[in-house]
Amino acid sequence: MKLMNEFGKKFNIYSLPAGNTGCQKGGWFRKEITEVADFKGLKFRIGGFAGLTSQKLGGVPSQIAAGVLYPSLERGTIDAAEWVGPYDDEKLGVSKVAKYYYYPGWWEGSTATHLMINLSKWNELPRRYQSIIAGAAAYANTEQLAKYDASNPAALRRLMADGAELRAFSQPILEACLKASNEVNAETAAANSDFRKVLKSMAAFRDDEYFWWQVAEYSYDTFMIRSRARG
C-alpha cells in the first residue's frame, strides 16, 4: 500500500483497502475444459490482465456486462464467462446455459477493493477524521471477505443442486495459465517501471507468506479437509 500510494500521488489519489472477495471461481463453460488446447478460440468473457493471459493460451477475451451474460452464453455469442463466485454468480442464472463450473480462478486469487480519495482533500482532513475513514475501510476490508466466506458454501450447494457441474482445472492447465500470467506480468514490468516496482515487492511478500502458510494454514486446513472427507 505504501508503494501504491506513492504511485497514486501522480494522479492526486490516496487509497485504502476496503474489501475483498477471496479466491474467485474459474468461470462457467458451455463445454468441458480438459486440456490447454481447449482454450484455443474460446470466446471468454474475462477482463483486464486475465484477458491478456487467456489470449496467450489462444482464447478470445471480451468484456460483457452482467445483464447480458445469460443470453450471450445461451446463443453461443460467448463460450464461457467468469464473474465472481457462487454467491454473486447464482444471481446470473447461467448454470442453465453453461453448466460446467470451473475452479480455482487462477487469475484472481482474490480481488482487493479500494477506497480512492482525492489526495488533496484527504490531506486537508483533521487526523481524527482520517482515522475514522481508515477504520471504516479496515472494517469493510474484513467484513466483505467474512460475508463471502459465509455465503459462498450455501450458494455453491444450491448451484450444484440446480444442475451445475463442479470441475477443477487440471494441473497442466493451471501451470500453463501461471506461465502465461507470468509472461504478461514480465512484459508489463519491462515497459512500466511503476508496475515493476510494485510487482517486485508483492512477489517477495507473497513468497514469504507461502513459506509461512505452508507450515500454518495450509497444513492445518489440508489435514482438516482430509478429515472431513473421511467423515
DSSP class per residue in 72-111: HHHHTS-SEE--S-HHHHGGGTGGGT--EEEE--TT-S--
Omega cis (within 30) before 153: no
8 A C-beta contact, residue 27 and residue 105: yes
8 A C-beta contact, residue 209 and residue 14: no
Q: What is the pLDDT along the chain (231 residues), one digit of tens a residue?
A: 999 999 999 999 999 999 999 999 999 999 999 999 999 999 999 988 899 999 999 999 999 988 999 999 999 999 999 999 999 999 999 999 999 999 998 878 888 999 999 999 999 999 999 999 999 999 999 999 999 999 999 999 999 999 999 999 999 999 999 999 999 999 999 999 999 999 999 999 999 999 999 999 999 999 999 998 888
The Cα diameter of the chain in Å comes to 58
Grid coordinates representing 68 are 447480458
Angle between helices 171-191 and 193-215 (to 10 degrees): 140
